[in-house]
A and B are shown apart, each in its own frame.
Chain A
């Protein structure tokens, strides 16, 4: 059974810091991994999608890496801003038994203060 864990559960940092959010998964047979952002009471915004054959993806100040063999992904946020405050969710799409299910982690709640 695939399980996804995110560490830390919460993080509070001053503006300008570089951050690393961690995601680990128990079954390396994944099709892809997706990072999302969720603002309080809102839906999810897709940030980055990494296919199982890829090592990393970048979008602006965000960089996500994937090490499938060790079951880990990291989301790197450069020069954090107060507008980055949100919950960040990691989700893996399993390869076994069809591609239609995303397994989510519990999220990392990030607060960036001025």
Chain B
């Protein structure tokens, strides 16, 4: 299994500002992902964080709004830029391991409220 930590666990931010969320994994992993969960909804994949190259974004998500860094195999950041109230969500970091047949693990999430 993989143990994932995220910082901050929650934040309240003003419209127009940016927030960077950090994700740390206790072991080296190849595949790392960022998800968004809007209130009352299921999870939506934002992007795959690629080590050493640009992230791969899903339809509807763009780099200018959600820049992602992946400097090594245990760490990634997601920035939510120029925030609006519609960005209020839980943001989740996730990793996939291949040792047990591609099992996926999730961090505790960052609860973001934009006022």
Interface residues of A (CB under 8 A from B): 31-32, 34, 36, 41-46, 49, 51, 89, 91, 93, 99-102, 104-107
Interface residues of B (CB under 8 A from A): 1, 4, 6, 31, 33, 41-43, 45, 48, 90, 92, 94, 96, 100-109, 111
List A contacts of B109 (CB < 8 A).
41-43
Interface SS, A side: strand
Q: Are A46 and B96 in contact (CB under 8 A)?
A: no
CB-CB nearest in chain A for B90: A41
Interface SS, B side: strand
List A contacts of B96 (CB < 8 A).
100
Name the one of B4, B43, B100 contacting A49, with C-beta atoms under 8 angstroms. B100
Name the one of A31, A34, A42, A91 contacting B108, with C-beta atoms under 8 angstroms. A42
19 examples of A-B residue contacts, CB within 8 angstroms: A31-B102, A32-B102, A34-B103, A34-B104, A36-B106, A41-B90, A41-B111, A43-B106, A43-B107, A46-B105, A49-B103, A51-B101, A89-B42, A91-B104, A93-B104, A101-B45, A102-B45, A102-B104, A105-B42
